[in-house]
């Protein structure tokens, strides 16, 4: 699989580290145990298009949000995770 890093350009998957689901959001510290458990442990496993976090470990060290079809490995979009995170409502610690 080849991923187009928005900063570095197209690279082989060996330069990246997979992290997981990019749709989950870290809960507010006061959230219930169930909410925290869901954030840490519960993941959907869609057969198809998915939003994932990848890290360009051997390149620019940017975290990326990769929109990918997990069945075909077709990649629809790659965005800097920081831009995605800034665009959503900031979560304060």
Q: What residues numbered 53-92 form the site for other proteins, per CB under 8 A? A: 53, 55, 57-63, 72-74, 80-82, 85-86, 90-91
Of 57 and 70, which CB lies nearer to Zn ion in the complex structure?
A: 57
Six-digit token string for 48: 């198809």
Tokens 């998915």 belong to residue: 50
Q: What residues numbered 43-82 form the site for Zn ion, per CB under 5 A? A: 56, 59-60
Six-digit token string for 30: 């006061």
Of 17 and 70, which CB lies nearer to Zn ion in the complex structure?
A: 17
Chain center to CA of 76: 13
**Closest separation between CB of residue 25 and other proteins, Å?**
9
Of 28 and 46, which CB lies nearer to other proteins in the complex structure?
A: 28
x-marked contacts with Zn ion along 6-25 as a string, rule CB under 5 A? -xx-----------------
Among 53, 48, 56, CA closest to 10: 56
Q: How far is CA 10 from CA 1, 16, 34, 93, in A?
A: 10, 11, 40, 35
């Amino acid at each position: 699989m080849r991923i187009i890093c928005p900063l570095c350009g197209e690279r082989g998957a060996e330069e990246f580290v997979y992290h997981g689901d990019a749709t989950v959001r870290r809960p507010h510290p006061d959230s219930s145990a169930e909410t925290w458990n869901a954030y840490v442990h519960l993941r959907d496993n869609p057969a198809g298009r998915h939003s994932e976090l990848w890290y360009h470990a051997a390149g620019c060290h940017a975290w990326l949000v990769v929109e990918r079809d997990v069945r075909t490995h077709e990649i629809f979009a790659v965005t800097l995770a920081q831009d995605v995170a800034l665009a959503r409502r900031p979560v304060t610690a």
